[in-house]
Amino acid sequence: MKILYFYQYFSTLKGSWGTRVYEFGSDWVKEGHQLTVVTCLYSKSDLKAKKFIEDQFFNGIHVKVINIKLNNKDKTIKRIWTFIIYCLISSWYAIKLKADVVIASSGPITVGIPGLIARYVRNRKLIFEVRDIWPQGAIELGVIKNKLLIYLSYWLEERCYRASSHIITLSPGMKSYIFERFKLTNITSVTNSANFDLFGIKVNNPVLPDFFTTHKVAIYYGNIGLVNNSILLIKAARLLKEMGINDIIILLIGDGKEKDCLLNEASRQSLDNFKIFPLMSKTELVQLVQNSFISIVPLKGTPILDTSSPNKLFESLASGIPVIQNTKGWISDMLKDNNLGFTVDADDPKELVEKLIYLKDNTNIYNTMCNNCKSYALKNFDKTVLAKRMLNAILS
């Protein structure tokens, strides 16, 4: 089977971004399928290109790299422009490239346009993959405010759903959201996954910063911005300092619009228990995650983010690290029902600090959680199992 995948953020394990398409696609290629991914250059990916369009190959996956750059630090108007350019070029490939199945992976919702062109112009089977609920997420977060643009975005969203042979959502919450709005049943939830070959196998002789031997490290990695509620982490560090709790360090790894502001604030307040490291590849990151005490997965407290499916959640569980997060949807239920961590208020650093102290002071409870995380992730989030589940849905 020839699969054409429209996804703007492709990365391999050498990048600092989610590797779902790379990992799933590698398995599909091993099974004899042909996969072409049309992507562009994301600031957290490892891809590079010299020509405007380059054909590159990774583990048998044919990647057509469009040399336009995406960065979360860019202003909204610039990001929208890059989405439009990607959409136009991808629409040409939707007509030109041979495929039995076309996957359009959103957001942004504009990636659905080449998918619709492939469906209606070339009569291809369309699979719509929902990574984020667009445009609802962008509207709740204040990214889209224009009434006409909101109307057009909702219209495009519905067209994409109804034109699809199958819809893949990255969480049960997204599946429920789409069903409740459109009463569609051709939906399969395939969450993000954990690469157990990487995160599940303990790194021998890890190279760690000195403070890992003297402190409990609460780690966050990913985008440092408003959507990720990064301000909650520095507030928690300040509160720990005020309480005289000196053996917990909050470590952020990543980049984003709020990074410089947080660094300046930490310096101004002399918060030596709050640190930010730059972006690093998955292969570098894994040893820090495995040797951390807790993984913090914060998001802004808005209803649509309750459906989210952050990569760091699954990788942390595979590493045997309990999670503290603040969404109120399916992740909260999963953590509570399986004793994998805690959910705290998105706007209350005191609650986050209390959970950190509680787990630090209750070793038996903490160790039980660690064991639960590893076994639950292996049973439910192994990349090979989920890659197969998505392929079965595509073939159905």
Is 76 or 176 the better-scoring residue by pLDDT?
A: 176
Q: Is the pLDDT of residue 62 over 90?
A: yes
Q: What is the assigned CATH class of domain 2-193+382-395?
A: alpha beta
Q: Where in the chain is the domain with CATH 3.40.50.2000?
A: 2-193+382-395, 211-380
Angle of CA points 230, 233, 238, to nearest 5°: 135
Q: How high is the pLDDT of residue 164?
A: 97
Q: Residue 302 corresponds to which amino acid?
A: T
Q: What is the mean pLDDT of residues 211-232?
A: 94
Separation between Cα atoms, residue 193 and residue 190, nearest integer Å: 8
Question: Residue 366 pLDDT more than 90?
Answer: yes
Mean pLDDT of 93-106: 97
Residue 281 DSSP symbol = -
Residues of the chain with pLDDT > 70: what percent? 100
State the residue for tokens 């660690």.
370
* CATH for the 211-380 domain, from 3.40.50.2000, 3.40.720.10, 3.50.50.60, 3.30.450.20: 3.40.50.2000
Whole-prediction pTM: 0.91
pLDDT in tens, 108-139: 889 999 999 999 999 999 999 999 898 888 88
The stretch 350-365 carries a mean pLDDT of: 97
User: Is the pLDDT assigned to residue 72 strictly greater than 90?
Assistant: no
CA distances 250 to 234, 263, 320, 371, Å, are 8, 13, 18, 23
Over 80: is that where the pLDDT of 172 sits?
yes
Q: Tens digit of pLDDT for each residue in 242-276? A: 999 999 999 999 998 899 999 999 999 999 999 99
Q: What is the CA radius of gyration of the chain?
A: 21
